[in-house]
Amino acid sequence: MRGDGDGWVVGARGARRWGKHGAAGLLLRCPDEQGEPTVLLQHRAHWCHHGDTWGLPGGARDSHETPIRAALREAREETGIPAHEVRVRESRATPFEDTGWEYTTVVADIATRPGTTPNAEGIELRWVPEHEVAGYPLHPGLAAAWPVLQLEQVRVIVDTANVVGSRANGWWRDRAAATRALAEEIAESLPITCPLPEDRYGWINHIEMVLEGRARVTGEESTQPAGITFHQAPGSGDDHIVELARQEDVPRTVVITADRGLKERLPRAAAAWGPKRLLGWLP
Residue 220, pLDDT > 60, answer yes
Question: Sorting pLDDT into bands at 50, 70 and 90, what band is 221?
Answer: low
- The residue ranking higher by pLDDT, 124 or 4, is 124
Mean pLDDT of 238-249: 90
- How far is the C-alpha of 92 from the C-alpha of 94, rounded, in Å? 7
Mean pLDDT for the chain?
Answer: 90
DSSP secondary structure code for residue 222 in this structure: G
Q: Are the C-beta atoms of 23 and 116 separated by less than 8 Å?
A: no
**How much is the pLDDT for 120?**
85
* pLDDT one-digit tens code per residue, 22-31: 899 999 999 9
H/E segment holding residue 232: strand 228-232
* pLDDT one-digit tens code per residue, 52-89: 899 999 998 998 999 999 999 999 999 999 999 999 99
Calculate what percentage of the chain has a pLDDT beyond 70: 94
Mean pLDDT of 160-174: 88
Residue 197, pLDDT > 90, answer no
Mean pLDDT of 195-201: 86
**How much is the pLDDT for 215?**
67
Residue 121, pLDDT > 60, answer yes
Name the residue among 238, 278, 236, 235 with its Cα closest to residue 256.
278
**How much is the pLDDT for 267?**
93
- The residue ranking higher by pLDDT, 257 or 97, is 257
Pairing of strands 102-109, 87-95: antiparallel
Question: Sorting pLDDT into bands at 50, 70 and 90, what band is 91?
Answer: very high
Residue 1, pLDDT > 60, answer no
- How far is the C-alpha of 219 from the C-alpha of 29, rounded, in Å? 35
Residue 244, pLDDT > 90, answer yes
* pLDDT one-digit tens code per residue, 124-141: 999 999 999 999 999 998
**How much is the pLDDT for 142?**
93
**How much is the pLDDT for 112?**
93
Query: Measured between alpha carbons, how far apart are the two ends of the chain, in Å?
Result: 31
* pLDDT one-digit tens code per residue, 250-283: 779 999 999 999 999 999 989 999 999 999 999 8
Residue 152, pLDDT > 80, answer yes
Mean pLDDT of 234-245: 94
**How much is the pLDDT for 155?**
95
- How far is the C-alpha of 179 from the C-alpha of 232, rounded, in Å? 12
